[in-house]
Amino acid sequence: MNFTLSQVPERSQKPRTKGLTMVMDKGLSVRETEDMLSTASPYIDIVKLGWATSFVSPNLNEKLAVYKNANIPVYFGGTLFEAFVVRNQFDDYRKLLDKYQLSHAEVSDGSIEMPQDVKCEYIHKLSQQVTVLSEVGSKDENKIIPPYKWIQLIKSELQAGAWKVIGEARESGNVGLFRASGEVRQGLVEEILTEIAFEDMIWEAPQKSQQVWFVKLLGANVNLGNIAPSELIPLETIRLGLRGDTFNHFLNTKTKQKWKIDSK
């Protein structure tokens, strides 16, 4: 931090197990990647190369080298995993992870229907090769999974070997955890949290209002994902109570009383 301010919440430090920020890279150039790291490296825990963008990016090798050099793990979006699986090319996918020396991989079923035991089998297999993030929630806005089912899925995937479970939102933040309007499915999140430890989840929250909602509910060190590169610095201020939206959240009672700030 550049200045000294009281009443700022303590942030976890790298390597973090909570307070993670997962950034979505959907096609940065090498120089843009360097720019992002020069600006926000302390706040980036893991990078997702969104869906199958890695397939068409001419600069893939060079970019992976930049991330490796900065000691930031990278994984391919779950849609790429699904694209291989649906084509009966899972073995090719495993070789790919080796070829690119990736330490992490995502297992998801956002675009295809996959029985849960099959999905868990994939999680189990891949977890012997890399660290696995699994994702729950459909990319189809009409496919609503009820809360008790989310809990079952999350539990079974953690048990199968997932390091973290990601709550789906897409790049736009309008499915899965969210309504088509982008509004949080609050009851869903609260019910999940009755049975799942909050640090076992990474909540995809690309929109500012979604990030604010999670920070208010779970504090500065909530795990958030699908953050756009240009929103890394803004997110960090939201986590610390230094943007209008969370400005009052971390102030102590004395300060709140003095400034007549409603304590709710």
Using CB under 8 A, pick the residue from 21, 79, 134, 156 that binds a second copy: 79
Distance CA 232, CA 238 (A): 10
- Indicate which single residue of 20, 44, 120, 232 sits in contact with a second copy (rule: CB under 8 A): 232
Q: Which two three-digit tokens encode residue 101? A: 């020396």
Name which of 4 and 128 has its Cβ closer to a second copy: 4
Check residue 19 and give left, alpha or beta (phi > 0: left; psi -120 to 50: alpha): left
Report the SS3 class of residue 23. strand
Shortest CB 188 distance to a second copy, Å: 20
Tokens 């090769």: give the residue.
129
Site string for a second copy, 237-256 (x = CB under 8 A): x--x-xxx--xx--x---x-
CB-CB contact of 264 with 251 (8 Å): no
**From the CB of residue 65, how many other CB atoms can be counted at a distance below 10 Å?**
13
148 binds a second copy (CB under 8 A): no
Q: Does 10 bind a second copy (CB under 8 A)?
A: no
Which window, 35-43, 118-126, 155-163, 179-187, contacts a second copy (CB under 8 A)?
A: 35-43
The residue (of 129 and 159) whose beta carbon lies closer to a second copy is 129
Strand, coil or helix: 165 = strand
- 259 binds a second copy per the rule CB under 8 A: yes
Site for a second copy contains 32 (CB under 8 A): yes
Among 21, 46, 57, 157, binds a second copy (CB under 8 A): 57
| Distance of closest approach, residue 151 Cβ to a second copy, in angstroms | 24
The rounded distance, in Å, linking the Cα atoms of 189 and 194 is 9
Q: Say whether residue 60 binds a second copy (CB under 8 A).
A: yes
Strand (E) or helix (H) holding 119: helix 116-127
With beta carbons less than 8 A apart as the criterion, state whether 110 and 139 touch: yes
41 sits near a second copy (criterion: CB under 8 A): yes
Q: Which helix (H) or strand (E) holds 227?
A: strand 224-227
Residue 29 vs 159, nearer CB to a second copy: 29
Closest CA to 214 of 169, 180, 251, 152: 169
Asked if 227 touches a second copy (CB under 8 A), the answer is no
Partnered with residue 167 across adjacent β-strands are 136, 203
What Rg, from alpha-carbon coordinates, does the chain have?
A: 19
Q: Binding residue for a second copy (CB under 8 A) from 21, 53, 134, 210?
A: 53
Give residues 170-209 in contact with a second copy (rule: CB under 8 A): 170, 172, 208
Only one of the segments 15-23, 45-53, 158-166, 187-195 lies at the binding site for a second copy (rule: CB under 8 A); that segment is 45-53
61 vs 102: CA distance, rounded Å? 11
Helix (H), strand (E) at residue 78 = helix 78-86
The footprint of a second copy (CB under 8 A) covers 1-7, 26-32, 34-36, 38-43, 50-60, 79-80, 82-84, 86-89, 92, 96, 110-113, 139, 170, 172, 208, 230, 232-234, 236-237, 240, 242-244, 247-248, 251, 255, 259-261
